Structure formats: C-alpha cells, structure tokens
Structure 1
Amino acid sequence: MFDIGFSELIVIGIVALVVIGPERLPRVARTLGVLFGRMQRYVSQVKSDINREMDLSELNRVKNEFEGAARSFQSDVQTAMNKTESELREAQASIEKQLNDSATDSVMPSAPLTEPPVAPSTSQGLLEDPAPSPQLELGIEEPVEPRERKAG
C-alpha cells in the first residue's frame, strides 16, 4: 500500500516515542493496530463486495443470454408450429373437398350401369310362385315326440 522502508518506520517510532511518551506509547500502538486491522478488514470487505457484484453482473449477463436464446427458440418453435398447422388445415380442406366431390358423384350417377330387373309375367298377368330359393329354411316345424323305449 504505502512504500515505507524499515529505516522510515524506525524514524516514525522514535518521533512517536518522543511526542507521546513512554507511558502512553503502548496504548497508542495498540489502538493504531486495531484501527489498522479494521481498515484492512474494511478494504477486504469492499474488495469482496466488488468481486461479488462483478460475478453477479456476469451471471446477469449469462442469464440474459440464456433468456434471449430461449425466446429465440420459442419463437422458432412457434413459427414452425404455425406453419405446420396451416399446412394441416390446407390438407384437411383438400381432403374434405375431395370427399364432398366423391360423395356427390356417388349419390347422383350420370347414367344407370344396368337396367332394372323386370318381373316375369304369365299369360294371365298373375305372378307365378317363384322357384324354390337355395337359401336354407329355418327349422321351425312341429316338435317330434320322443319314441318310447322298449324294456327288454
């Protein structure tokens, strides 16, 4: 701190001994030591506060960088989501249009593909019984009574 050599300290000590006197010199030296210690602690505390503030400002700078990167990432993701959402809506509209077009085409065909079947008629104009159908008939008939067993 101060550039004081050993010879200068001896001169200061002799002057203090003459001015203060040998009776009060130990008490004054002790008081000066306490004050010097307080001054050193105060200086070290100020240094630590300055270092802490510098670290805090560095942390705030890093925090701001991270927040900026997070905002940038969020806006990129939001842009991508909006783009994808609009593409999906366009695809949905296209599919719905195709479905509506195909539904209207299937509901109203332009020409019948086959002629409708004509019912056969007899000479008298009455319908005959149709031929037996190859479809299986339901077995709903009168129940058959069980046969009696012969005891033997």
Structure 2
Amino acid sequence: MLDIGFLELLLVGVVGLLVLGPERLPRAARTAGLWIGRIKRSVSGIQREITSQLEAEELRQKLKEQQSKLDDSVKRARQGVESLGDSGKPTGAGTRSDNDASTSGEADADSSPVSSSSPASSASDSAFRAQPNSPDTSSPDRDSATR
C-alpha cells in the first residue's frame, strides 16, 4: 500500500499535536484508528467477494466445458448406435423370404456348376468358419468330409 516510514509517522504526530493539542489528540487518534479499521475490513471483504466471484465464474466455465464435452461424447455415441442400428436392419432388396429361397435355390442349383465338395462338408466348413474361437473338436460331419 503506502510506503510510510517512521519519520513520516513522527512528523504527522508532531503536526497533529500542534494542531489539535494534547487534550484532543488521543480522541482524534482513536477515531482515526476506528475509521482505518473499518476501511481495512471493508476492503478485505470486497477482496474476498471478488475472489469468490472469480472462483465461481471459473467453476462455471469448467462446468460448461465439461458439459459440452459430455454432450459431444453422447452425440457421438448416439450416432454410433444409430449407425449400427441402420447397418443391421434389412434393406428389403438383399433379403429373401423362405419361399423365395426354396424356389430360387432350385433355379440356382440348375444354373450353377456342380461343386466338388459334398453338402455336409460345406455346411460343417461354414459352421467352423463362423466360430473361429471354438475349441477344435471333431464332429461327425467333419469326419465324414475327410473320408
């Protein structure tokens, strides 16, 4: 604050003693001390209030940032779930009903070349490929395919 040394205080005291006199100087010093105390308390209260307001504003900013990050992550998760839901839905053009599959299967069998593997081995191979992490156990279909 103010850089007041001992000599300045001594000078103010001597001037006050000369102006006010010895009878009124103690009461004036006491009154000045009370006013200075009140001013210091009000200044420190204002500083505390400003500091708390700044901290509250900083917390609000952090809260807004966290909220925006959370909203972004929720939006990305929702888009991911929606894209998975959209890719898992049948489109209608690529799906066939059971009746269509049986009638078109006969037509496909006539037009496709004959494969060298038997139907039992192709079914077991596709089942084996669908479960790559399953333990290697020999099944009756697999044994008949190797014979």
Q: Which TM class, normalised by the smaller chain length?
A: 0.5 to 0.7
Distance 1:4 1:38 in 2: 20
TM-score of the superposition, structure 1-length normalised? 0.61
One-letter identity of the residue aligned with 1:14:
V
Aligned length: 106
- Contiguous gaps of at least 5 residues in structure 2: 108-147
Distance 1:18 1:64 in 2: 63
Distance 1:19 1:100, change over 3 A: farther
Looking at CA atoms only, which structure, 1 or 2, has the larger radius of gyration?
1
* Counterpart amino acid of residue 97 in structure 1: R
Question: How big is the shift at 1:95?
Answer: 8.2
* 2:76 counterpart residue number: 76
Q: 1:2 to 1:100 in 2, by over 3 A?
A: farther
Q: Which has the higher helix share?
A: 2
> Residue in 1 aligned with 2:100?
101
Q: CA deviation at 1:99?
A: 3.2
Per-residue deviation at 1:32?
0.6
Partner of 2:61 in structure 1?
61
Question: Runs of 4+ in structure 1 displaced over 2 angstroms?
Answer: 93-100
Could you say which residue in structure 2 is the equivalent of 1:26? 26
Unaligned ranges ≥5, structure 1: 111-152
Percent sequence identity is: 32
> How far apart are residue 71 of structure 1 and its match?
0.8
How far residue 90 of structure 1 moved from its aligned partner, in angstroms, is 2.6
Q: Relative contact order, CA 8 A, sep 6+: which one is greater?
A: 2
What is the TM-score of this pair, normalised by structure 2?
Answer: 0.63
